[in-house]
Amino acid sequence: MHHRHVAAALSAVLLAASAQPPQGVDDRRLRAADRTAEWLAAGRTYSEQRFSPLAQINTDTVKGLDLAWYGDVDTERGQEATPIVVDGVLYVTTAWSKVKAFDAATGKPLWSYDPKVDPSVGQIACCDVVNRGVAAWNGRIYLGALDGRLIALDAKTGREAWSVVTVDQSKAYTITGVPRIVRGKVIIGNGGGEYNARGYVTAYDAETGKQLWRFYTVPGNPAEGFETPELARAAKTWNGEWWKLGGGGTVWDGMAYDVETGLFYIGVGNGTPWNQKFRSPGGGDNLFLSSIVALDPDTGKYRWHYQTTPGETWDYTAAQPLMVATIRWQGRPRRVVMQAPKNGFFYVLDARTGKLLSAEKYAPVDWAERVDMTTGRPIERAAARYDRTGRPVIVSPGPLGAHNWHPWSYSPQTGLVYLPVTENNGPYGDTAELKVNARGYNTGVDAAAALPLYRAPGAPKGGSVRSYLQAWDPARAKEVWRAENAVYGSSGVMATAGGLVFSGDHSGTFAAFDAATGRKLWSKPTQAKIVAAPMSYEIGGAQYVAVLAGARGLPDGQGRTSAVSANNSRLLVYKLGGAARLPTDTFKAVQESTIQSRLNPPLLTGTNEQVIDGQASYARVCSGCHGAGAVADKSIPDLRYSTTLNSFALWNAVVTDGSRAAQGMASFRDILAPGEAETIWHYVISEANKAKAAEDVARRR
């Protein structure tokens, strides 16, 4: 059916839906979410297809799409949330788990809520202090806060209704994911798979916050008994004393419910530590790491699982977004669960039984040749198992994966899945012993040991190779088109009944593509990088498209135009004929800062040994926020430009005494060993001098 016919058919249904008075979200409304003009959940519907049935903005009209309103966001770290729209109100989360409510038609701010997360929690957030959105139910808005709280807010006022702590806060658990609500139960997972977490999901009564069930993804200490029979069986796939570091398997992003099968699907993360030699000496599949697991949402009971990467050792989480759809499979409609996890294979599973239907590479992959369709197991390349060979190796994809958390979308019109793909590789090396740090990154991988391989003849380009928006046919397991990104990086995706696919990028634009061909039909500058996913809703006869912008510093050539966010974090909302304009004046406020605009490091006084030690400590403790190799890739200061390089006392005041705790840099006193603050200081000075020398050479040319 052409999209204009769909549009005509849908508009009658949608008008009927919007004519009903607001009544709060319930199960009936969520089950009918695919026919409403609103966007009631981050994934839009239970199936999480993120497909908007609205078609006022379509392949013909999209050229008239422009900014309707924008809302400034007062944080400047990664912005990963998909907004929701319920009863005319748009709810969105920002970095540091803050929630904002806007009038969805006018952009008028209605309320905001700050859970006041202790900045020191940022130290145990592997991948920035982000949050991917809220859930709505019966007049309330539900938030998972970075520090492990699950919080219910009054949807009208933003006032707290209840709050429960869902994790052991003495451990390195964090929440960045979206709570899911199924039949009155709020279900939430957590992150921490690089630290000391044992993964699980928990269901709470949405009205009271009372805990109803919990499903652990990996077995605990056998001496304490197993919570379920499945965990007793899973324990047979583990060796050694895996529970001491938790084992990993965190459910930090992908979850979906299917109204047809009645099952709730969760995506399970990587092992802790990554290197399987330390986690489970002698190997084993290590269930349910890197698996898709189906549960009964009423009881939390196990139904089936499929493990994508048995005995994973490369940070190959299967925590990526999950999607349920009815696709044409061998000529017949078939209910399936789909996932494109980090490991580079696109999986199609039967939604009822978990039977593997298809597993093909959607990006360059060299850790495995293929997946054996009889056993469902990957045929691995032996050299990729650095933990067994003891030899460093470059593997594709690397730890960031061929697809990460960035939302994808399925269009029932085209039968295609649209996903952001990153082609990359990563260095993996074995290490003799695992030095465990209670609040630090514990991977057991010596990446530096593999770095010289990048200098060998014929070696791949290091790290990030290219990225693109890909249209994938899940029935034929084939790419249909791709739209290459000018600047490497992923951004969330939404397909619509207007025959369009919307996505932002890292060069600072937001664009619409023809869903059938991939031709770019429209784009607007955003002054900010975009990693989050767009969404769409209709109010008063107008279709809106909204996206949260802001991530990892400013795009090349952009200046700061926001008074409250260094990376121009904003909620951007578009409609046909929109007349709003982003500010163009560069914001010149003087901020109290230790960062200067030019490289001006002191001479290096540290020894070679100090610099080498500092490099290892930096990689383990600092790189997650301040960037690999001391080069910042986020809106977090590039330490090579810091004035604190001039004096160890100044540096130590920040690093050890926490003098910039209010700005989000909490004290690392309890994390760093004696002398580590100083060796890291020497290392950063060394890197700053190298960068300065390179600049000088470039200037003389």
E strand map for 234-310: 255-257, 264-267, 291-295, 302-307
Output the six-digit token pair for 419: 């996903």
Compute the least distance from the CB of residue 401 to Ca ion, in Å. 9
Q: What is the DSSP letter of 597?
A: S
Cβ-based nearer residue to Ca ion, 136 or 402: 402
Report in angstroms how near the CB of residue 127 gets to Ca ion at its nearest.
8
Q: Which is nearer to Ca ion, 230 or 315 (CB)?
A: 315
Q: Per rule CB under 5 A, is residue 315 in the interface with Ca ion?
A: yes
Binding status of residue 176 toward Ca ion by CB under 5 A: no
**Residue 683: helix, strand or coil by DSSP?**
helix
The nearer residue to Ca ion, 250 or 615, going by C-beta atoms, is: 250
Angle CA 9–11–17, to nearest 5: 115
For the question of residue 315 being annotated catalytic, the response is yes
Mark 574-593 with x for binding to Ca ion (rule: CB under 5 A) and - for no binding: --------------------
Q: Which stretch binds Ca ion (CB under 5 A): 38-46, 201-209, 313-321, 421-429?
A: 313-321
Using CB under 5 A as the criterion, what x/- string covers residues 185-224 for binding Ca ion? --------x-------------------------------
Of 311-319, 419-427, 431-439, 675-683, the window that binds Ca ion (rule: CB under 5 A) is 311-319
Q: How far apart (Å, rounded) are the C-alpha atoms in residues 249 and 251?
A: 7
CB of 190 to Ca ion, least distance (A): 13
Angstrom distance (rounded) from CA 83 to CA 113: 15
**What's the helix, strand, coil split of the chain in %, to 5?**
20, 30, 50
Closest approach of Ca ion to the CB of residue 274, in Å:
8
Choices 235-243, 312-320, 436-444, 449-457; region in contact with Ca ion by CB under 5 A: 312-320
Count of positions on this chain that bind Ca ion (CB under 5 A): 3
Please name the residues in contact with 540: beta carbons below 8 A apart, sequence gap of 6 or more.
Answer: 105
Q: Is 398 in the site for Ca ion (CB under 5 A)?
A: no
* Cβ distance to Ca ion smaller for residue 43 or 193: 193
Q: How far apart are CA 362 and CA 381, in angstroms?
A: 18
Q: How far is the CB of 269 from Ca ion (least distance, A)?
A: 6
Contact 131, 77 (CB under 8 A): no
Nearer to Ca ion, 177 or 637 (CB): 177
Burial profile 314-325: b = 16 or more Cβ within 10 angstroms, e = fewer:
bbbbbbbbbbbb
Task: Report the amino acid identity of residue 188.
Answer: I
**Binding to Ca ion, residues 252-281 (CB under 5 A):** 270
Cβ closest to Ca ion, residue 306 vs residue 405: 405
What's the closest the beta carbon of residue 397 comes to Ca ion, in angstroms?
Answer: 13
DSSP state letters, 6-28: HHHHHHHHHHHHHHSPP----HH
Element (H, E) at 144: strand 140-144
Cβ atoms of 188 and 177 within 8 Å: the answer is: yes
Scanning 94-102, 314-322, 353-361, 370-378 for contacts with Ca ion by CB under 5 A, the matching segment is 314-322
**Cβ at position 153, least distance to Ca ion in Å:** 29
| Three-state DSSP state, 543 | strand
d(CA 120, CA 674): 19
Q: How far is the CB of 212 from Ca ion (least distance, A)?
A: 28
> Can you say whether the dihedral through the CA atoms of 271, 272, 273, 277 is positive or negative?
negative
Q: Quick one: 246 or 354, whose CB is closer to Ca ion?
A: 246
CB 623, min distance to Ca ion, A: 14
Tell me which of 128, 253, 258, 315 is the catalytic residue: 315
**Cβ count near 252 (within 10 Å):** 27
140-144 and 149-154 strand pairing: antiparallel
Rounded alpha-carbon distances, angstroms, from residue 80 to 151, 295, 460, 534, 664: 19, 27, 30, 10, 18
Residue nearer to Ca ion on the CB measure, 443 or 569:
443
Choose the binding region for Ca ion from 226-234, 310-318, 428-436, 623-631 (rule: CB under 5 A).
310-318
Shortest CB 356 distance to Ca ion, Å: 23
Whose Cβ is closer to Ca ion: residue 270's or residue 485's? 270
* Contacts of 476 by beta carbon, 8 Å cutoff, 6+ apart: none
Q: Measure CA of the first residue to CA of the last residue in the chain; give whole Å.
A: 60
Helices 648-655, 676-700: inter-axial angle, 10-degree rounding: 120
Per the DSSP assignment, residues forming a β-bridge with 186 are 181, 204
Nearest to 430 by CA among 394, 387, 397: 387
C-beta atoms surrounding 457 within 10 Å:
4
Distances (CA, A) of 509 to 498, 548, 556: 20, 12, 12
| Least Cβ distance, residue 273 to Ca ion (angstroms) | 10
Nearer to Ca ion, 270 or 291 (CB): 270
Q: Which two tokens stand for residue 320?
A: 């990526």
Residue closer to Ca ion, measured from CB, 193 or 254: 193
Angle at 536 between CA 115 and CA 68, to 5 degrees: 85
List binders of Ca ion among 67-96 (CB under 5 A).
none
Distance CA 235, CA 216 (A): 12
Q: Which residues bind Ca ion (CB under 5 A)?
A: 193, 270, 315
Q: Which residues are catalytic?
A: 315
